[in-house]
Structure formats: C-alpha cells, structure tokens
Amino acid sequence: MRIWGITGTNGKTTTTWILNEFLGGGYITTVEVFTGSRRFSTGYTTPPFATFKAILDEMEANGVKDCAMEVSSHAIHQRRTGDVAFAGGAFSNLTEDHLDYHKNMESYYRAKEEFFLRLADSTPHAPVAICVDGAYGRRLFETCSGLPLNAIACGLTVPDDVDLAAFIRATCPLVGDYNVQNVLLAAALARGAGMDVETIRSKIPRLTPRWGRLERVRTRSASSVYVDYAHTDDALANVLSTVKSFTKGKVWAVFGAGGDRDRSKRPLMGAAAARFADRLVVTSDNPRGEDPLAIIEDIVGGMPAGTEFLVEPDRGKAIRYALSNAMEGDAVVVCGKGHETTQEIAGVKHPFDDREVCRAF
C-alpha cells in the first residue's frame, strides 16, 4: 500500500480528497477517514500513532492500494506517523497559523520541511509535488531539489501548468484560484505516482464542493449562502475574493477566530475580511476557554479605521442576521467552522453546524 502525505497551511483536506479521487483507495483527513469499508472521524487532522496504525491495518486488510492523507505540522513535530515510510508527498502553502505552538514562522516552516527531509531518508527518489506560487513553496522546492527526491514544481506560476489550469477553470466545479492550485497539486502528485494526464483530466469535471469548503447551502434567504472552513487571513482573502468575483451584489462575511489558539492571526483575519467583504458580522468561532468578546476585540483591532461592522457573539444569531438582511444578488459566506458539527464554549462542545443553522433559517 502506498501512503501519500499532504502538508501545508491551507488546502490539505481538499487536496487529499482530490488525490483520492484521482488514485482511488482510502484517505485520512480532518473531516473523515475512509478505510475502503467504513467512514468515520478521528477528531484529528493526523491521528495519534496507535490510531493511525490501526487505520492503515484496516485499509490493508480491505485491499486498499493507495492512502492519501493530511499530515499536520503538529503531527510532524510530534512524530505521530512513527516509522511509516511514505511513498511521496505534497506541499500546498504556508501562511500564518499555529504560532501558539510553533512560536514563529521559521519554526513552523521547519516542521513542514522536516516531513520532506525524512521522506528523502525513508523513500529515496519519492515524488514530491510542491506549489511554488508562494515564497515558502519556492524555498522548499529548492531544498527538495538538492535531496534524493523527485521534486515536481506546480502552480499558477509554472509554465507547464498553464494549459491544465485553464482546463480546470473551464470544467471544474471547484471555483477560485486557490482551488485551481489544489487541483494542480493533486494532479502533480498523481502524475508522480504514475497516473497519465488524460485520466486525471477526465476526473476533474466531477470534483464538486464538499465538507464545508465553499459549500453552497440552500436557504430561504434572498442571497446565495456558502459555508467555508477559512480560519486564517490567507484563507479568508482567498474565499472572499473568489466569491466577490462572481457576485453581483454585496459580499457578507460572518466570521470569528478560535480561542486558546494563535492570537497573532486575529487582527490579520480582521484586515483580510475588511478588504474583501462589503458587510462584516464578527462573531464567535470556537471560543473554548476565552471570552468571546476579547477574541472579537483582537479581530476588530486589525480592521482599518472607519470600517463598518456588526458584533454579535452568538454565532447562530450572527448567521441569521446576515441571512435576514442580505439582499437578492448578495452572497453570505459563513467562515471558520466549515464541516464542524460542534461549537466549543468554556470547555464544553455544543451541537452546532453552520450548514444546519443556515438551512433552518
């Protein structure tokens, strides 16, 4: 069984799912695990080693030939994948996140880089696909090119990907440049795994949004409503600018930030939302052990002077406010929780699904 690891800040879940659509087999993602016979959630992006090993054993017993999986920076640093030898890997991007754990961007990058250094030791000449549209991707590609790895550059800035990117934009239901990058990354690794380009192209038109990744939700609102997992400034900028590109009216952003996590990204998220959305409703995400209003204050602190916004700590009320006030031609994007079905407040997880709240409106 070949195991393919996908790492990066944003796009891991989507890229892992797409790679599985190309190669078939099983997958391990933040949202769901598929072993070839059953689907379930572990509650982790990359589960602890004992769980991980049990999943691989089940996949192998089911005759799974390829496993695509997310590998988080925490998992790399904590060596959660143990001595499992990956067949290859991919890197999407690196933007500010998890600095409560890694402390600074250099340490965060080094954790990601470590995955590829280990891969070079365990599986010489393994294919590694790297999106080089960002500075960290270019740096990693240069590093991997000097290792005994088959480093494959991909992205919107790679001349060889221009035609495929145009085909993705024309045929793929996943919208936005960031999703084009996700498909290009998965396609590059699939090619490295031995799949021919025509087979890959034949599967691209069947890739539809899922798991709260710019997932459209049918509601009684006059507006178009989307739920997305965006919880970093880069992800917010990507999803909101994408929705803005095809929306005739106003773009509403309903968003917050998680508690007991990286505080430094909160003002950056506020600035990104203010830049790309026309209407801002700042609310709670998973406040965990923090005061929701304190988190919101951090977010609002990054917005330019004069920015208009509404504060509503109750996430359900915030969503319903946006759906009630958005007009025909507008788009409401509920950001931050995506696929999640609970909201953690003061250490207690309460049932809460953005999609269900929108549907019940």
pLDDT, tens only, 84-105: 999 999 999 999 888 888 889 9
Q: Chain-wide mean pLDDT for the chain?
A: 97
Q: Which pLDDT belongs to residue 100?
A: 85
Give the count of domains, the chain.
2
d(CA 247, CA 140): 36
Task: Tell me: do 26 and 55 sit in the same domain.
Answer: yes
Q: Which pLDDT belongs to residue 97?
A: 87
pLDDT tier at 72 (50, 70, 90 boundaries)? very high
Task: Tell me: do 77 and 162 sit in the same domain.
Answer: yes
Task: Tell me: do 227 and 319 sit in the same domain.
Answer: yes
Q: Which pLDDT belongs to residue 280?
A: 98
318 pLDDT above the threshold of 90:
yes
Q: Which pLDDT belongs to residue 246?
A: 95
Task: Tell me: do 163 and 229 sit in the same domain.
Answer: no
Phi-psi map region of 218: left, alpha, beta (phi>0 left; psi -120 to 50 alpha): beta
Q: What Rg value do the Cα atoms of the chain yield, rounded?
A: 20
Residues 110-135 have a mean pLDDT of 97
Task: Tell me: do 19 and 153 sit in the same domain.
Answer: yes
Task: Tell me: do 10 and 156 sit in the same domain.
Answer: yes
Q: Which pLDDT belongs to residue 99?
A: 84
Contacts of 339 by beta carbon, 8 Å cutoff, 6+ apart: 30, 31, 211, 212, 213, 229
Q: How many Cα atoms sit within 13 Å of 271 on the Cβ side? A: 10
Instruction: Give pLDDT tens digits for 146-163.
Output: 999 999 999 999 999 999
Question: Residue 313 is part of a domain; what is its CATH number?
Answer: 3.90.190.20
319 pLDDT above the threshold of 90:
yes
169 pLDDT above the threshold of 90:
yes
Q: pLDDT > 90: what percent of the chain?
A: 97
85-to-5, 47, 124, 230, 329 alpha-carbon distances in Å: 10, 16, 10, 31, 50
Phi-psi map region of 42: left, alpha, beta (phi>0 left; psi -120 to 50 alpha): alpha
Task: Tell me: do 162 and 241 sit in the same domain.
Answer: no
- Tell me which of 157, 188, 206 is where a domain ends: 206
- Tell me which of 155, 174, 206 is where a domain ends: 206
Residues 204-228 have a mean pLDDT of 95
- Tell me which of 206, 241, 275 is where a domain ends: 206
Phi, psi of 202 (to 5 degrees): -65, -25
338-to-47, 128, 225, 227, 302 alpha-carbon distances in Å: 20, 28, 13, 6, 23
Residues 5-30 have a mean pLDDT of 97
Q: Which pLDDT belongs to residue 104?
A: 95
**In the numeric block, which tokens belong to residue 238?**
């990507």
13 pLDDT above the threshold of 90:
yes
Task: Tell me: do 340 and 290 sit in the same domain.
Answer: yes
Residues 310-320 have a mean pLDDT of 98
Question: Residue 165 is part of a domain; what is its CATH number?
Answer: 3.40.1190.10
- Is the overall model pTM greater than 0.85, yes or no? yes
Q: Which pLDDT belongs to residue 96?
A: 83
Task: Tell me: do 198 and 109 sit in the same domain.
Answer: yes
Q: Which pLDDT belongs to residue 118?
A: 97
Task: Tell me: do 245 and 346 sit in the same domain.
Answer: yes
Host domain of residue 142: 2-206
Task: Tell me: do 23 and 162 sit in the same domain.
Answer: yes
d(CA 211, CA 30): 10
Q: Which pLDDT belongs to residue 124?
A: 96
Task: Tell me: do 263 and 346 sit in the same domain.
Answer: yes
339 pLDDT above the threshold of 90:
yes
